């Protein structure tokens, strides 16, 4: 019996064959039958019969016939090549092709006695992850992706994890002081998620709990599905990314303006919008007050009065 024991879904073709292994033990072959085990028992897929010394192939299931590329199909003449053999191209492989198959050969022995032999084989379809959704965050931030330090958030990731075997969703992270992503160190911080079968795929939803760090400006998270032995960030995995930024309160800054007490007044880096002169001359202790100037400075709500004095 020829069977592809393991095939990658839509990557590898499947091979099926029922071939005689010890031809001298046979006097003749009248039937070769390939069947598949189902919930109701083995059901015939195709048979090759000897009908009036002619080979006759009967496909019992059309969905197989339409997908098969036949290599050989004969029981007569009896040679080392006698048998049934066909392929199914990778593009035509179905998840339902996985299962247990049986080859049955019926005929007569070399001593002209009725002879029947069964051989059992199993086909396994290995399915790789194909999709992963965008990471979701709860609670939602007031400002996109900005969170106050020490805020506890949950990151949720849903994706396919394949089958034979079903894989895991893996959490990786990179902070602003790191060059590469690495796996999340504490498994207690996240839930693996329950395995949900979907036809020939499996789906998981994993949730990571993260307390926003006050020590780093940002942390980039990556949820990956694929071979868990590969390093984080491998191109052979499928992934979803999100970056969580620490919110920092803006620092308020003020600018002071200096005045030189000379004959002229210098205001640097300011804009004067109004100026008025108060004509008063006061004699006090030998000091003559010249003029009092009142300036209103742009963007400053307080009005300042400056005295320019000269002895």
Domain that holds residue 24: 2-126
Q: Are strands 182-183 and 169-175 parallel, antiparallel or unpaired?
A: antiparallel
- Can you give the pTM of this predicted structure? 0.67
Query: For residue 258, is it within any domain?
Result: no
Non-local (6+) Cβ contacts of 243 within 8 A are 145, 218, 219, 220, 221
Q: What are 140-177's pLDDT values in tens digits?
A: 887 777 899 999 999 999 999 999 889 999 999 999 99
Query: Quick one: 195 and 237 in the same domain?
Result: yes
For the chain, the domain total comes to 3
Q: What are 50-95's pLDDT values in tens digits?
A: 998 899 999 999 999 999 999 999 999 999 889 999 999 999 999 9
Q: What CATH number is given to the structural domain containing 22?
A: 2.60.40.10
% of residues, the chain, pLDDT over 90: 66
Q: Which residue has the higher pLDDT, 170 or 259?
A: 170
Query: For residue 89, is it within any domain?
Result: yes
Query: Quick one: 7 and 45 in the same domain?
Result: yes
Q: What are 172-207's pLDDT values in tens digits?
A: 999 999 999 999 999 999 999 999 998 889 999 999
Query: Quick one: 23 and 80 in the same domain?
Result: yes
Consecutive H or E run containing 65: helix 62-65
What does the angle CA 110 – CA 116 – CA 118 come to, to the nearest 5 degrees? Answer: 130
């Amino acid at each position: 019996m020829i069977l592809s024991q393991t095939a990658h879904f839509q990557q590898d073709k499947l091979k099926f064959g029922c071939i005689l292994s010890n031809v001298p033990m046979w006097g003749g072959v009248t039937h070769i039958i390939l069947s598949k085990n189902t919930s109701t028992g083995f059901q015939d897929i195709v048979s090759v019969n000897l009908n009036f010394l002619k080979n006759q192939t009967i496909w019992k299931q059309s969905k197989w016939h339409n997908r098969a590329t036949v290599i050989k199909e004969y029981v007569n003449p009896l040679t080392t090549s006698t048998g049934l053999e066909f392929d199914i191209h990778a593009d035509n492989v179905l998840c339902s092709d996985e299962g247990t198959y049986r080859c049955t050969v019926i005929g007569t022995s070399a001593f002209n006695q009725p002879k029947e032999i069964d051989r059992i084989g199993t086909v396994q379809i290995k399915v790789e992850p194909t999709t992963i959704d965008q990471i979701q965050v709860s609670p939602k931030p007031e400002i996109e992706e900005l969170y106050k330090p020490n805020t506890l958030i949950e990151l949720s990731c849903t994706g396919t994890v394949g089958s034979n075997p079903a894989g895991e969703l893996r959490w990786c992270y990179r902070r602003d002081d790191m060059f590469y992503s690495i796996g999340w160190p504490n498994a207690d911080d996240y839930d693996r998620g329950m395995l949900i079968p979907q036809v020939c795929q499996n789906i998981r939803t994993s949730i990571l709990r993260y307390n926003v760090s006050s020590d780093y400006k940002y942390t980039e998270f990556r949820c990956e599905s694929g071979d868990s032995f590969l390093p984080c960030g491998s191109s052979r995995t499928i992934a979803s990314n999100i970056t969580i930024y620490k919110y920092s309160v803006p620092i308020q800054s003020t600018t002071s303006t200096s005045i030189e007490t000379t004959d002229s007044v210098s205001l640097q880096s300011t804009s004067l919008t109004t100026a008025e002169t108060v004509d008063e001359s006061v004699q006090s202790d030998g000091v003559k007050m010249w003029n009092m100037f009142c300036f209103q400075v742009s963007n400053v709500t307080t009005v300042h009065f400056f005295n320019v004095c000269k002895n």
